[in-house]
Chains A and B, each alone.
Chain A
C-alpha cells in the first residue's frame, strides 16, 4: 500500500491565484483530514470528512474548500491565494472504529508559498 499520497510536494503561487492540493489514500479509510502547519507551530484542522459525500469545517476553514466524491480522494481547493496561506499542508486518514477514530496516517505534505 502507498498509504496517503499528496501532490504536489512544493508549489509557489502568486497572490490571487487558485490551486488544488491532491490527496489520495489506498487504505479504504472512512475519515480524511486536511491540516496546515505554520513554522514552529502545531497542526490546525482545516476540513475533515467522515465519508464520501460528507465534509465539515475544522478550526481554520476560511479561504479553503473541499470535496469528497470518493472514499479515496479528498482534494483541498485554495481560491484567491493570500500570503497568510503560506504553510505546509498535511492530509491524513484514519479508519472508523467502534470507539471513534483509529490511528491517523499522514501524507508527506505540500509546502506552499504565496508571494
Chain B
C-alpha cells in the first residue's frame, strides 16, 4: 500500500515568516494530494488540494507544489499569522488504490507573535 512521510513533525516560525511542510509518497498511482488543518479538539479541515495533472496550486497565502517524478509535495504558507498555528496533515489517494486516503503523521506549526 501507499506510504506517506511528512516532515518536520514540529515547526516554529515568527509571525510574518513563511512555513514549508514536505511530504513524500511511495505509490506512483496516487493522483490526489490534499492538505488538512486540524485545530486542537476539532475535526480536520481541507485547506488546499492538488491533483497529479497540476504542478502547483495557490490560494491566497497558501500554496501546494507537486513533483511527480520525485514523489513529493509541499505546503507553503506565506506571511504566517498566529491563527495559522495548528497541526497540518498531508494525504495521498488514488483510484487504483480503492480511493483510500493515506495520511502523514502531521506537523505541529506554531506561529510566534
Contacts and interface: CB of A to CB of B under 8 A. Distances in A.
Interface string B46-59: 10010100000000
B99 A31 contact: yes
Contact of A90 (B32, B44, B104): B44
Contact of B100 (A58, A90, A99, A106): A58
A33 B91 CA distance: 14
Interface in A78-108: 90, 94, 96, 99-101, 103-104, 106-108
Chain A residues touching B, range? 20 to 34
Interface string A10-53: 00000000000000000000010101000011111100101000
Given A41-B105, A58-B100, A101-B32, A107 B43 contact: yes
Contact of A99 (B1, B6, B51, B89): B51
A108 B99 CA distance: 22
Contacts of A58: 100
Contacts of B32: 99-101
Given A42-B106, A109-B43, A103 B34 contact: yes
A99 B99 contact: no
A51 B93 CA distance: 17
Contact of A106 (B45, B93, B98, B104): B45
Nearest to A41: B105
A42 to B, nearest CB: 4
Interface of A: 31, 33, 35, 40-45, 48, 50, 56, 58-59, 90, 94, 96, 99-101, 103-104, 106-109
